[in-house]
Amino acid sequence: MRRNPLLSLVILPLFVFGTYVAPCEGADTASGTAIVAIRTPEMIVVAADSRAIHKKDEPDPKPFCKIRKVNDAFVTAYGLYDETGTGFDLWSIIWFSTIGHTKLSDKIRSFEVHVEAPLKSALERIRKEEPSEFKKRCIERPPLGVMFFGVEDETLKLVSCQYRVLLPLLSESPIGLMTTRRDCPGLDCLDGNIGFLATHSESDLDEFRSSFNSEVRKGNVVDFARKFIQMAIDKDSVTFGPPIDIISVTKDGANWVQVKEECQ
């Protein structure tokens, strides 16, 4: 029996939460998946590939920035980025919802309020136009995940918001969403360590889980994150593509370890 990796990672001495995702695709959509985010008490490291996938599994020829600074909040995301039929644009929603908020926690709460209605509309359109793909990619897997990270009140914060579709009782009923939020620091990482992996491969997830403890204790966080993005690219050079962007954040500020010029 295939186990659900969303339930399989709370077994390590260091709390690790991993995701196993693929893009939710439909008519005129763009999406992406290969992301690693790790938080320790000393630093946050986020790494991502540069490939976005459009409908019919067509890769965008232009490199895509999956790690961004938006109104002084650092954000990365996987899954559905845009859906032109309804005008769903994830990055615009993030930008709009974080305006006027100083604290990272307030920006996140505002985003959670503003994203739900347009995301539901986009998913409704995909369900209507491509029901088989909707079932495969939006029901069996989370259609969207967004991670905010940065410094708030002298504390490093990494917060993951993952969205799943709640199946309606009737096929014509409106779509419901379930949000799973993981906060570090917080009850989700009592020792201050947490890791997220977004990729297609369950074997990568198993390796990520099994080696997380030792690599974090070694302080090898940047190389550890880079390794899993490169593994995704090596295994599927159509869905995932270089270059790899990596950013590290400490209480002293943010530093791009490596980044495309257009993403700085």
- Count of positions (residues) in the chain: 264
Tokens of 216: 């974090």
pLDDT tens, position by position, 206-221: 899 999 989 988 888 9
Pairing, β 19-20 against β 194-199: parallel
Question: pLDDT: is 3 or 203 the higher one?
Answer: 203
Element (H, E) at 83: strand 73-83
pLDDT tens, position by position, 165-174: 987 655 678 8
Is the link from the previous residue into 185 a cis peptide, with omega within 30 of 0? yes
In a domain, 264, yes or no: no
pLDDT tens, position by position, 7-40: 223 322 333 444 434 445 444 444 557 899 999 9
DSSP SS3 for 140:
coil
In a domain, 41, yes or no: yes
* Measured distance CA(187)–CA(12) in Å, rounded: 15
Residue 15 confidence (pLDDT):
36
Do 32 and 2 form a contact (C-beta atoms < 8 A)? no
Tell me, what amino acid is at 58?
E
* Measured distance CA(80)–CA(55) in Å, rounded: 11
pLDDT tens, position by position, 106-152: 999 999 999 999 999 999 998 888 888 788 778 877 889 999 999 99
Can you give the residue range of the structural domain that contains 82?
Answer: 5-253
* Sign of the CA dihedral running 119, 237, 66, 261: negative
Do 264 and 243 form a contact (C-beta atoms < 8 A)? no
In a domain, 206, yes or no: yes
In a domain, 48, yes or no: yes
How is residue 219 annotated by DSSP?
T
pLDDT tens, position by position, 60-90: 667 889 999 999 999 999 888 888 889 999 9
Residue 169 confidence (pLDDT):
56
Burial of 23 from C-beta contacts in 10 A (0-12 / 13-18 / 19+): buried
DSSP string, 143-157: SEEEEEEEEETTEEE
For 159, residues 6+ apart whose C-beta sits below 8 A from its C-beta are 104, 105, 108, 147, 148, 149, 181, 182, 183, 184
What does the mean pLDDT of the chain come to?
83
In a domain, 18, yes or no: yes
Do 103 and 118 form a contact (C-beta atoms < 8 A)? no
In a domain, 124, yes or no: yes
For the chain, the domain total comes to 1
Q: What is the CATH number of the domain that holds 203?
A: 3.60.20.10
In a domain, 14, yes or no: yes
pLDDT tens, position by position, 155-165: 999 999 999 99
In a domain, 229, yes or no: yes
